[in-house]
Amino acid sequence: MIYIYIMDYFKNKTVDDLSLLHDMAFSSTSKATKTTFFQSLRRIEKIYNQPMGQIQLSFVNKPEEFLKLIDDSKYSKNTALTTITNILKLLKMIDAPLMIYNKWLTILKEKTEERSKKDNSILKEKLKVLMDWKDIRDSVNTNLTKYIDDDDIPIDIFKNFMILALFTIQIPVRISNYVNMKVVEDDSYVDQRSNFLVINDNSYKFVFNKYRTSHIIGKKVLFIQNTSLQYLIDKWLAKYNKESNNLLVVSEKNKRPMNGKQIARSLQDATEDIFGSPLTVDNLRASYMKHIAELDPDFQDKLDIANILGYSTTDVLDKHN
């Protein structure tokens, strides 16, 4: 009976009330996580077309009804999973009976498995039509000499090709790794707040401190071993990008750092120019991961590559096999 009394106490709480309790209970979580919880509760209100106080947590005891409502709504499968995840957090907060919590946990596991199977099926179809990584890399390598030797290439064309080279001559990290990247001459200028290209004599390396999974993996360093890519970067910095205040990827119009969408657009323009059709960074990363999976490296090498790509495990590489 005590569980009923505890749940009754929360039935009339508003979204703001429950969100405040969440933020107190999970005080160490990020602002984004707290916002996601709040948005999930708002989403439940929209699904039932009632304020939370009037819903009175009825969905807690009727998960099947909730699932039908959210499946029939405009929300995506990923959004539904996020909502269910936050309902589980809510159940912990209100100290719901273990039987109810486990029922929702089973639902989350089933929905997650469904999504995983669908994602794997979609991935397999994409892999059938992907360009071979070796062909992509060889085509870019073939064009490198022209861009290094020709001094009459317009700045926007050169910039697009250099961006393409960053994602094809070496491991294709995520686009966000290069946003606001700084160029420095020595490790003494490197801090933990930004990402850097460190050029020290003949040593060229990328230092990635900030990326999507950096809070799990930590700082990663990627050395540029290809001398032609080094020359290409040198030319970009010396001829085309002299006024950017030590930023690597900038717009040719105002010398300000390019955002993720702008870099993605440049990448598509460059790939359309060279391959005849635009490719996204996801296309390039998938092709590269398929290539690595086919090489079948040992576990540690595979894990090192996965970490540079921004994954904490090798699972994503294994899926591309």
Q: H or E element: which one contains 37?
A: helix 31-48
Q: Which of 227, 218, 170, 240 is nearest to 199 (CA)?
A: 227
Residue 76 in 3-state DSSP? coil
Contact 216, 312 (CB under 8 A): yes
Length, in residues, of the chain: 321
**Where do runs of H (alpha helix) occur along 72-199?**
77-93, 98-129, 133-149, 155-166
Into which CATH architecture does domain 130-319 fall? Orthogonal Bundle (1.10)
DSSP letters along 280-304, please? -HHHHHHHHHHHHHHH---HHHHHH
Q: According to the model, what pLDDT value does residue 5 have?
A: 46
- What's residue 143's pLDDT? 94
pTM of structure: 0.64
Question: What is the C-alpha to C-alpha distance for residues 102 and 107, in angstroms, rounded to an integer?
Answer: 9
3-state secondary structure of 24: helix
Q: Residue for token digits 């990402």?
A: 195
Residue closest to 26 by CA, chosen among 90, 119, 112, 97: 90
pLDDT in single tens digits along all 321 residues of the chain: 444 445 678 888 999 999 999 999 888 888 888 999 999 999 999 999 999 999 999 999 999 999 999 989 888 888 999 999 999 999 999 888 899 999 999 999 988 888 777 766 665 555 454 688 999 999 999 999 999 999 999 999 999 999 999 999 999 999 999 999 999 999 999 999 999 999 998 899 999 999 888 888 999 999 999 999 999 999 999 999 987 778 999 988 888 899 999 999 999 999 999 988 888 899 899 899 988 988 888 888 888 888 988 888 888 777 766
CA atoms within 13 A on the CB side of 315: 5
Helix, strand counts (H, E) of the chain: 16, 4
pLDDT of residue 7: 65
